[in-house]
A and B are shown apart, each in its own frame.
Chain A
Amino acid sequence: MIHFYNVTKIYDNGVKALSDVSLRIRKGDFVFLVGPSGAGKSTLMKMIYREELPTRGQVMFNGRNIARMRSREIPYLRRKIGMVFQDFRLLPQKTVAENVSFALEVTGASRKYIRKAVPAVLQRVGMLDKADCYPAQISGGEQQRVGIARAIVNNPLLILADEPTGNLDPETAKDIMDLFNSINRSGTTIIMATHAWDIVESMKRRVIRISNGKIISDEESGVYGFAY
């Protein structure tokens, strides 16, 4: 579903964040991106949702060459991708339910559909009882659940999660990982960047290790291990 062909990314300031990266991710995969800070994990994800363009090489997603997309096609690309961030990125002036329904409104979904889909997805992430709370009124773990609800409410093909447990304690992080697992089991591809080696080890999934913008290992059901 995702193909990187010799992708190099050099930012305007001259920093080479990715160098000659090739990789392939199949539909339904659950992939961890690991590596030290500044390795290029976030940059790799930004290539997929076209926040950044590759300097050289091609990125294919779902049969489309992302670098060749027109500006007005980008929103439709992003509707196929759910994004989860370390800092949750919820809107503080909107309630939990409004934050989730916002993702549907933005795509022009019908009112009727929104009324049906939002409670269902909040139920799925276990946040239905807090639907009318504001982000400031709930814990970090709960905020991330809302973030995940917002990411999956559009039924995306792919979830990109950039250190989704980075701000959470290990206990809460484990709950969040269980949630990702169940989402993956229902068929959604997940790419997750993380520094949490205990999580990676316990999940026994594919691990792509990046350092200095290069893939240094790519193992099915790998362990994060000592190379870090």
Chain B
Amino acid sequence: MRISTPVYCLREALVSLLRNSWLTLASISIVTISLIILGCSLLLVMNIDYLAQQLESKLEISIFLEQDLESEEVRNIGSKIKSTTGVAEVKFVSKEKALEEMKKSLGDRAEILDSLEENPLPDAYRVKAEDANHVPALARSFEELEGVEMVRYGKGVVEKLLALTHWLRAAGFTLLGVLGLAAVFLIATTIRMSVFARRREISIMKLLGATNWYIRAPFLMEGLIMGLIGAVLAAGAVNLGYFALVNKVGQSLPFITLVTGEDVLVRVSGLLLALGFFIGIFGSFISIHRFLADKKT
């Protein structure tokens, strides 16, 4: 005599998934697509953040002093700059040094400087800020110092990059939200179909005294399987794609550095799997919830 035993959950889930194979496939695909998009936007944002960070760390404020200052005054200004909060590093560049640097950067054409009778360049301080976000404020405060002629910094570049990452993040998450909802909805539809196919069985189970969790389990399993398969596919695609990209960029655009290291991909993949898990569980939960409701007092 054959007696079925509680390997039940997985078996029932698989049977249902195969029975609604088209819907199952559609659900898995949309989970995969939405998670791939999430993975890509995450990696993109990480890389732009990284780029911004690199630029920020190179970003300096140049403070040009008025001509004809006493060396006492120059030193005074220097110590005022040093004592400003938010300043990480201060370097003094004398007008002679500046001229030398200019000659160096001009290279062959340096002789145009020879015709100068007098060094036209001012003394300057170069300041590195502790935090790139404070650069504009620091620059303004330096402008107000006595003896300062002009203050310059890489205005715009950092702001633009940061704005770009904000925008990308927002766009990525909006897209994820929309696609994630679609994924939940499709999974819920698939589960509703299999609940419907087994409504008779469910009503009998309830009469036999099955707990709601026992009845739910195979459907949750079904949603979970779809969510996780989708997530695994997405994680695989993102990993392979990024790996290929890093290689390609490494060969043809060596000056661009991408965020690498295994932990980045592990973190991203982990996130994708967790999200696939939740999408699957959530999708099936909303479909069976109503079906199992008992009459309340």
B207 on the interface (CB 8 Å rule)? yes
Give which listed residue, B2, B208, B295, contacts A102 with CB less than 8 A: B208
Q: Is the CB of A119 within 8 A of B1?
A: yes
Q: For residue B212, which residues in chain A have a CB less than 8 angstroms away from its CB?
A: 71-72, 75
Q: Chain B: which residue is nearest A53 at the CB level?
A: B295
Q: Is the CB of A106 within 8 A of B208?
A: yes
- The range of chain A's interface size is 35 or more
B252 on the interface (CB 8 Å rule)? no
Q: For residue A150, which residues in chain B have a CB less than 8 angstroms away from its CB?
A: 208
Q: Is the CB of B208 within 8 A of A131?
A: no
B178 on the interface (CB 8 Å rule)? no
Central interface residue in A51, A75, A98, by most chain B CB within 10 Å: A75
Q: Chain B: which residue is nearest A114 at the CB level?
A: B3
Q: What 1/0 flags go to A62-90 for Cβ under 8 Å of B?
A: 00000110011011111100010000010
Q: For residue B211, which residues in chain A have a CB less than 8 angstroms away from its CB?
A: 72, 75
Q: For residue B296, which residues in chain A have a CB less than 8 angstroms away from its CB?
A: 53, 71
Q: Is the CB of A105 within 8 A of B1?
A: no
Q: How far is the CA of A107 from the CA of B210 in the complex (A)?
A: 6
B22 on the interface (CB 8 Å rule)? no
A16 on the interface (CB 8 Å rule)? no
Q: Is the CB of B214 within 8 A of A108?
A: yes
Q: Is the CB of B1 within 8 A of A118?
A: yes
- The range of chain B's interface size is 20 to 34
A94 on the interface (CB 8 Å rule)? yes
Given contacts A75-B209, A106-B214, contact A132 B295 (CB under 8 A): no
Give which listed residue, A51, A107, A114, contacts B5 with CB less than 8 A: A114
Given contacts A105-B8, A106-B214, contact A74 B1 (CB under 8 A): no
Q: Is the CB of A107 within 8 A of B208?
A: yes
Q: For residue B206, which residues in chain A have a CB less than 8 angstroms away from its CB?
A: 75, 78
A194 on the interface (CB 8 Å rule)? no
Q: Is the CB of A132 within 8 A of B209?
A: no
A22 on the interface (CB 8 Å rule)? no
B107 on the interface (CB 8 Å rule)? no
Q: How far is the CA of A114 from the CA of B1 in the complex (A)?
A: 12
Q: How far is the CA of A91 from the CA of B207 in the complex (A)?
A: 13
Q: Chain B: which residue is nearest A150 at the CB level?
A: B208
Q: For residue B262, which residues in chain A have a CB less than 8 angstroms away from its CB?
A: none
Q: What 1/0 flags go to B172-215 for Cβ under 8 Å of A?
A: 00000000000000000000000000001100111111111010
Q: Is the CB of B208 within 8 A of A78?
A: yes
Give which listed residue, A67, A94, A132, contacts B297 with CB less than 8 A: A67
B294 on the interface (CB 8 Å rule)? yes
Q: For residue B295, which residues in chain A have a CB less than 8 angstroms away from its CB?
A: 50-53
Q: How far is the CA of A67 from the CA of B296 in the complex (A)?
A: 9
A95 on the interface (CB 8 Å rule)? yes
Given contacts A50-B295, A71-B294, contact A98 B4 (CB under 8 A): yes
User: Can you list 20 A-B pairs with a CB-CB distance of less than 8 A?
Assistant: A68-B297, A72-B211, A72-B212, A75-B211, A78-B206, A79-B208, A79-B209, A91-B201, A91-B204, A95-B2, A97-B3, A98-B2, A101-B4, A105-B4, A106-B210, A107-B209, A108-B6, A115-B3, A118-B1, A150-B208
Chain A residues near B (Cβ < 8 Å):
49-53, 67-68, 71-72, 74-79, 83, 89, 91, 94-95, 97-98, 101-103, 105-108, 111, 114-115, 118-119, 131-132, 150, 154
Can you add 12 more A-B contacts, CB < 8 Å, to A74-B294, A78-B207, A132-B1? A51-B295, A53-B295, A79-B209, A102-B4, A102-B205, A102-B208, A103-B208, A105-B5, A105-B6, A105-B8, A118-B1, A131-B1
